[in-house]
Amino acid sequence: MSSENKRQMWIPAGFAHGFLTLEPDTEFLYKTTDYYAPQYERCLRWDDPNLAIDWPITATPSLSAKDQLGVDYSKADVFEPKV
């Protein structure tokens, strides 16, 4: 994804997602399918050893206050979509 190709990524509701920018001064915008409802947000620990995500970083990441409180996947709430 880049400002040149204008591509977007769709992430289904309830699907865990994380982002790592590899360029300085990167701007990242969210498009949502509903109004913001923080009471329904959940956060996984970005460096959960059980997920074993190989983040290509060498420095300590800059995390939001919310992301700093992320829980291990094994302790995460389960999302039950409406049908």
The token pair at 33 is 């399918």
Mean pLDDT along residues 63-73: 91
pTM here is: 0.70
* Per-residue pLDDT tens over the stretch 31-66: 888 888 888 888 999 999 999 999 998 888 888 888
Cα dihedral 51, 46, 37, 11 in deg (nearest 10): -60
Question: Which residues lie closer than 8 Å to 15 by C-beta, 6 or more apart?
Answer: none
